[in-house]
Structure 1
Amino acid sequence: MSLPDARTAAADAGPGSGRERREAGPAQSVRQRDTAAAWGAPLLAAAAMPLLLGLATATAPEPVTLSLAGLALTWLALRTQRLRSAARIATRHRDNLARLAAPAVARLVAETDSVALRAGWEQEATVLFADIRGFTRLCETLAPGEVAAFLAEFRTRTARAIEAAGGLVDKFVGDEVMAVFGVPHAAPGDTDRAVAAARALAAAMTAWSGEREQAGLPPVRIGIGLHRGSVFIGTIGAERVEFTAVGDTVNVARRLEQMTRTLACDCIVSEAVVRDATSGEARIVAVRPVRGACAVLRLFAIRLAP
């Protein structure tokens, strides 16, 4: 056998022959590609889009680089659009809450975790109730639409006076308003702010009565009750929830407001309010049990006129 024939025979007999390598080449490429795909897919899913695009553009030809840059701009535009859409939805949600509740309540509900709101918390607060005197008799002379307009004007003026004094309007029920001072966080001076709100309410009703008298309409008088103590703050309800303050302190404040009709006072406050307030004149008007209260209370009248 000649030397060329020997070399040919040895090459054909060897384990790594060219034909076998050529036949094995496509299969090996497929296996390598499948392995790369199996490892590459999770990496692509986990990596940030800007990082991947940056790595690709650094090694790709110019036309591919331009295409990837366009893809990056499209991704950023879609991302910005989604963020703006989420911001619009959040703003609309807060606006809808503000239409159904006081602005401070809307902000508190929007910014507080729903679980914390439902669990609630207990704290000290000063509660104010105010009610229009003779409202039922007044409604007898008005059409339903006029009653609605009257209540809307009353609520606007009332909320403005309470919120300017630092209070939180808890709810309106007909011609009655409930407000709390020291929610969501108690602070020194909460009771003084409640007394200031009572005086601001009286001043607002006096100004409104002057406008009504010029139009030949009857004046508006209100009765106010104030009490201080522990209250529970949170959302109450299942399908329809309400953010509110509840407890014996709330019940007593409402009873004090109702007692202004029988004790001939515009504003009655409990001894807890008198002790916590730092200013204002108060005179004792009764020592009696209050319906809904756990003990006999000393009741005081405070002067609302400046």
Structure 2
Amino acid sequence: MSAMVLPKATAAAADLAPWFGRPHREAGAAPTLCRHRVAAAWGGALLTAAPAALLLGLAAATGSEPMALGLAGLALTSLALEVRRLRSVARVAMVHRDNLARLAAPAVARLVAETDPSTLRAGWEQEATVLFADIRDFTHLCETVSPGDVAAFLAEFRCRVAEAIEAAGGLVDKFVGDEVMAVFGVPHAGFGDTDRAIAAARSLAAAMLGWTRERGRTGLPPVRIGIGLHRGPVFVGAIGAERVEFTAVGDTVNVARRLEQMTRTTACDCIVSEAVVRDATSCEARIIAVQPVRGARAVLRLFAIALAT
């Protein structure tokens, strides 16, 4: 590989005269000054075009001590600028991830940030336990309050619900008004997903009971919820065109929602399918019906589980 050829010192000094003033003519001073000016002349180009390793190599191969020191200084400056650039890139990436986390569950934000977009769009099928919950008599609760108060009520409800679900290891898939959908075992299925879903249902009931007591001190009505649980195959992925949504869909999701809706006409707050009872390691459940469920492909044995602690 051919070595980099630097211009003669006298020529570099002449070219840089307008920047540094007239060169000194004293004996012994001109050679050193010229070498410094040559280093300054090449510094800007080397700093932007040459990596730090090359600059250090040139410094080691240069016989002149001032030139070697100059190149070493440029190498260190180049390294410092590269570190600053990488830190800036990392800060931008962190800001983007934080912004995404405000619009999606933390687990989804991490998954979207770390997974290839084509993989997310292609999606995959897996087993999961789906939970649906919504507020009983929500319309009645909103009849006597302003829209702003309704928004504040929903914000507090969602905060309490998300905390209970995520503490149990679940993923909040979406909120729709006063309804929440959560999945357990997404994006990665694991042993005990159904147990965690049942634990989340009980945590939700306990959270609403505590909230009801707080509200009762100021004369506000209680907050009750109905919950439905079903387990089965779901399709998971980023669904949509220009605006996509990471979600789980399929017959399992539909059945879980129907079970939650059935709590409105039964004397129990949580209805689960036989698939949930079979998959749970321990679940005190009582059978309440054997009937077809709208959206299900077969007649299902339905169970109620107690949520009160």
Give the structure-2-normalised TM-score: 0.82
For 1:48 and 1:281, the matched residues in 2 are separated by 70
Residue 52 (structure 1) aligned with residue 54 (structure 2): yes
Work out whether 1:272 is the aligned partner of 2:278.
Answer: no
CA offsets per residue over residues 150-176 of structure 1, 9 Å max, x none?
001000100111111111111111100
Give the counterpart letter for 2:117 in structure 1. S
Query: Unaligned stretches of 5+ in structure 1?
Result: 1-43
- Is 2:172 aligned against 1:163? no
Q: C-alpha distance in 1, partners of 2:257/2:155?
A: 22
Deviation at 1:298, TM superposition (A): 0.9
Tell me, what secondary structure is at the counterpart of 2:243? coil
Shift in Å, 1:201: 0.3
Correspondence list, 1:287-306, <5 A = 287-306=290-309
Counterparts of 1:62 and 1:133, CA distance in 2: 83
Return the match for 1:199 from 196, 199, 202.
202
Report deviation, 1:48. Answer: 6.9
TM-score (norm 1): 0.83
Q: What is the distance in 1 between the residues matched to 2:271 and 2:265?
A: 11
Shift of 1:68: 1.0
CA distance in 1 between partners of 2:282 and 2:163 (Å): 23
Match of 1:208 among 199, 203, 211: 211
Question: Among the aligned pairs, what percent are the same residue?
Answer: 80
Match of 1:14 in 2: none
Distance (whole Å) between structure 1 residues aligned to residue 224 and residue 126 of structure 2: 32
Determine the structure 1 residue equivalent to 2:178: 175
2:202 is paired with a residue of what secondary structure? helix
Shift of 1:187: 1.1
Residues 1:147 and 2:150 aligned together = yes
Q: Does 1:242 align with 2:279?
A: no
| RMSD (CA atoms) | 1.4
Q: In terms of Rg, which structure is larger?
A: 1
User: In structure 1, how many angstroms separate the alpha carbons of the residues matched to 2:204 and 2:194?
Assistant: 15
User: What is the CA-CA distance between 1:54 and the residue it aligns to?
Assistant: 2.3
**Partner of 1:220: helix, strand, or coil?**
coil
CA contact (8 A) 2:229 2:256 kept: yes
Gap change, CA 1:48 and 1:298, over 3 Å in 2: farther
How many pairs align? 261
**Equivalent residue letter for 1:57:** A
Does 1:253 find its partner at 2:249?
no
Would the aligned equivalents of 2:52 and 2:76 in 1 still touch at CA under 8 Å? no
2:79 corresponds to: 76
Unaligned runs of 5+ in 2: 1-45
- 1:108 corresponds to: 111
Matched residue type, 2:112: V
**What is aligned with 1:231?**
234
**Which SS does the other structure have where 1:234 is aligned?**
strand
Q: Which one-letter code corresponds to 2:188 in the other structure?
A: H
